[in-house]
Amino acid sequence: MTAGIPAPVRVLVVDDSAFMRTALRRMIESDPALKVIDTACDGVEGLEKACRLRPDVITMDVEMPRMTGLEALSRIMEEAPCPVIMVSSLTRTHAEATIEALGRGAYDFLSKDLSYASIDIIRIKDDLVAKCKAAAVHKRRMPQRGVTKPVATVPRRASTSLYNFSTPRVICIGTSTGGPKALQTILPLLPAGLSAPIVIVQHMPPGFTGPFANRMNALCRNQVKESEPNEPLLPGVIYIARAGLQLRVVRRSNGPAAEMSPMPTNTPHMPSVDVLMLSAAREYGGSAMGVILTGMGNDGQQGMEAIYRAGGYTVGEDERSCTVYGMPRACAEAGILHNVLTLEGIPGEIVRALQHSPAQVANR
């Protein structure tokens, strides 16, 4: 059992489909650290059981009779706070509702394949198990009703001098599990008028990055948009890489631009953090900045190393604020991070990097 996870993690499954309830139970209980304590067939029953059973984690369908997943989520956050993982079908309506759920306090989400004749739904098993475990750790940080919220951890201050670094001309951010919450924390804190574009790879299914970008745009002082093929990457604009395609930064006479294609296809994720950051290092060298946030696996390690070796500036999220300390851990253990900061310290570090006066460094 991973440190900090209660044994076993008690999960409540809420879905109006008997097939999905059975499938989710089997996937969750494939790991001995997880136990489905009950199921519910709609939001009304889910809310009642959440209040009565006090599970560690809830999986919640988006569209259900009597009370939708969104309505149930809002009530649960008020009456029995608990990490909720939304389970959404791959439709635009459900994608928009799922992104709305993140704004209402959902911990994370998964997409499900509704073609029940297919076995594709099993593909989400590893992600589901990992997110349930991470959510159980997250629950320990959640304020409970009648309990005073603890004082937030003071973010670790940056220690690396920026004197020998060029001012970034493009900033790349990579994240996965826990990323939507992390990005909703840091992006609204960035001041308007940034002097470089920010390009973000957030692992999401196709159809979800557009609604997510729209939500972030409503929260931020800088424009946030889903990436478009061949568009210029403008200073002060934040681009969310479109799911289902790879995004590379290319250098043009008038500045950086986004090149998007379905290649390569042999990466675990599309878009891939590595593909984005490798291109930024190749095109901009020491004028690229890489930031790696919470997420499972090691996507981004190669790209962050390329930026680091090219003389660019690299920052990783501290384990103390990570939902899942996987992607930042891989970079930290490889020794390719110039600075490690808690989530709250990262917006200020981006601003610091953009505003500093660099030394005259050759070939950057």
What is the dotted CATH code of the domain comprising 9-139?
3.40.50.2300
CATH fold for domain 170-355: Rossmann fold (3.40.50)
Give the pair of three-digit tokens for residue 302. 């190669």
Average pLDDT over residues 144-169: 60
Give the pair of three-digit tokens for residue 285. 């060298």
Q: Where are the domains of the chain?
A: 9-139, 170-355
pTM over 0.85: yes
Q: pLDDT digit string (tens) for 80-123?
A: 999 999 998 867 778 899 999 988 989 889 887 654 444 456 66
| Half-sphere exposure at residue 240, Cβ-oriented, CA atoms within 13 angstroms | 29
Residues designated catalytic: 176, 203, 299
Residue at token pair 């050759």: 362
Cα 17 to the center of its chain, rounded Å: 28
Range 86-101 burial, b when 16+ CB lie within 10 A, else e: bbbbeeeebbbbbbbb
Q: pLDDT digit string (tens) for 31-50?
A: 999 999 999 999 999 999 99
Which pLDDT band holds residue 164 (cuts at 50, 70, 90)? confident
Q: pLDDT digit string (tens) for 223-245?
A: 999 999 999 999 999 999 999 99
The candidate with the shortest Cα–Cα distance to 247, out of 262, 266, 234, is 262
Q: Which of 104-118, 243-257, 279-293, 333-347 has the weakest average pLDDT?
A: 104-118
316: DSSP letter: E
- Where does the chain have alpha helices with state H? 18-28, 43-53, 69-79, 92-103, 125-139, 179-186, 209-219, 273-284, 301-309, 327-333, 346-355
Helices 92-103 and 69-79: angle between axes, nearest 10 degrees:
10
Give the pair of three-digit tokens for residue 105. 């306090």
